[in-house]
Structure 1
Amino acid sequence: MAACPGCGVASARVHSRYVRRLADSAVGHRGVVIELGVRRFRCQDSACTRATFVEQIDGLTFRYGRRSAGLQRVLQRLALMLAGRAGPGRRPACGNTRGHREPVHTAAPHTGLARSGGGHAKSTRGR
C-alpha cells in the first residue's frame, strides 16, 4: 500500500512493477548500483489528476531520482563546498579533452557525408 503524492489517498491497487536502478556511494573505489523492484499504483481518487504513481522508499528513493538519496546529499554538499569551481589544479570532467587542434569527426545524419571539426565535408561513399 502507498499514498498518492497528488491527493494523499492510500492505494493498494498495483498497476505494474519494474526494476529501478539507482547509483549509490562507491565502496572500495567500485561503483555501486542498487537494483530495486518497485510498484506503480493506480490512484483510487477519481478526482485526482494523477492516474498512476510509483512507490518511494523513505531514505533511499525520490521522484525521478537516478541516485540514492544518500548519494544525492553527498553530491549536493560537494557542489556547495566547491561553489561552482572545479577546485585548485583540477579540470572539469566534461568538455573536449583532446588537443585544441585535433578535429572531432562525426557522421552527418541521413547523408553520406562526414564532418570534421574544421567544417569541411567529404564523401565517405566508395571507401
Structure 2
Amino acid sequence: MSYDRYVAICHPSCYVNLMSKEICISLAAAVWAVGTINSLVHTLLMLSLDFCGPSHIQHFFCDIPPVLALSYSSTYLNEIMIFMTDIFLALGSFLVTTVSYSFIIIAILKIQSFKGKQRAFSTCSSHVVMVSL
C-alpha cells in the first residue's frame, strides 16, 4: 500500500507503468511467500520437539508460544527463531513504510499550490492513520 501511494504521489505520470497488474501480483505474491516461509520454518522447528502430558491449550488461537510451553524438550532454537523473525519482519515492514512515506512527504512539500498539497495528503491520509494505529 505504501508503494502504491508513493508511486501515485511521487511519480503520477508513470503510475500505470509502475503499478501494472504484474507488479501488483508480484508484490502480493512476495508477501504471501514471506508469510508461508515464516510459517513453514516455525512448523518444521515444532516437529523436532517432544510433547507429552496435557495437550489442552488455554488460548483462542493455537499460537507458537503456548505450544512451546507444552514441550518438555529444549525450545531454545524455536524461541530464537521467533525473536529473529519477529524483529526482521516487523522492522522490515516498518522501514519500508517509513522510507516510502518520507519520500511522499518530501514530494508533497515540494508542491507549490495549497490545493495540490491538500489533495496529495488526502490521498494517503487514511493509510497513514492505519499505519499509525
TM-score class normalised by the smaller sequence: under 0.3
Query: Which structure has more strand as a fraction of its residues?
Result: 1
Rg larger for: 1
TM-score (norm 2): 0.24
